[in-house]
Structure 1
C-alpha cells in the first residue's frame, strides 16, 4: 500500500534576528517539514528581494527543512519579509519582522572621527617625545664639546682619566675664588 503525502504543507516561516555585524543585521528564516520542498527569499517592505546566502536544505522524514540567512541594512521601515513558495502546488506563505533601529546602530564601523582624533593625539605625543630626545642628545653633545679641555692640556697628562673634567673644575674654582675676593673688597 502506498503512503499518501499531503501536498502544500508548509508552515509559516519562522524568523530569528541574529547578532548584528559591521555588515548589517543577519535575519534567519526557517521552514520545517515542508513538502514539496519550498524555496525561500527575503524581501524588504517595498517588495525588493534581498540578497542572501545559499539556502540550507535538509530532508527530514517525508518533508524538507530549509533555512536562509540575509544580512539586511537600515531601510525606510526596517520591516522585512520571508517568503516561502512551493511552486509545484502554487502555495505561498510569509512571515514579517520589524528590526529595531538600535540594532543598525550596532552595525556601524568604529567611529572614524574618534579614531582619527586618537591617532592625531598619539602622533603629537610621539612628535614631542622625539623633539625632547633629539634636544637632549644635541645638548649632551654640545656640553661635551664645550667642556673639553684644550688639546695641549690633554697632552700634558694623556693617561689621566677624565682630564678635561678636572680642567673644568679647576676653572670653576678659580672663578669662584675671584668672585669671592671681589665681593670681599666691596664690603670692606
Structure 2
C-alpha cells in the first residue's frame, strides 16, 4: 500500500509539473482579448504595414488590396467637409505621389486601438501616425474609424473614415505618452 501511495504521489507531482509548464502567465496590465479581436488587430496592423515602405520597390499593391473588400472606400473628414475615394483611386494617388518623387518613404503604424464587433462586422477606432520621407519625426497623426466585415473567414476593411490632427484639432492627450514611449523603443 505504501508503494502504491508513493507511486501515486510521484505521478501526481509529475502531472502537476507538466501542467505548470503549460499555464502561461498573463501580465496584470495586459487585457485579455478574444481570438476574434486578435484577428481584427492582425488585419489592421498588417494593412498599415502593407502601405509602409522604405523603398517603393518593396510595395505590393496586391497585398494592400488583400486587406480590403472589393468595394472599400477611404474617406477623409476635414474642415467640415468629407471626401471619399475608392481603394483603387487611393492606390493610384499613392502611386502618383511616389512616381512624382513627392513620397520616398512612408511608415504608417497604430499607436492604440479599440474594437467592438458583433458576428461578422466590426468597428475599430485606430489612433495612428505616419512617417513621410524621413523617420526623424512623425509627419502626421490621425484617428481612423475602420469598419470591417468577415468574408469567407477573413476580416477585411470595408471603410476607412479618418480625420488628421491639426492646429484646431489636437490628437487625444491620453495617447501622447504612448506615442512618446513608442518612439523611444
Q: Which has the higher strand share?
A: 2
TM-score band, normalised by shorter chain: under 0.3
Relative to the length of structure 2, the TM-score reads 0.24
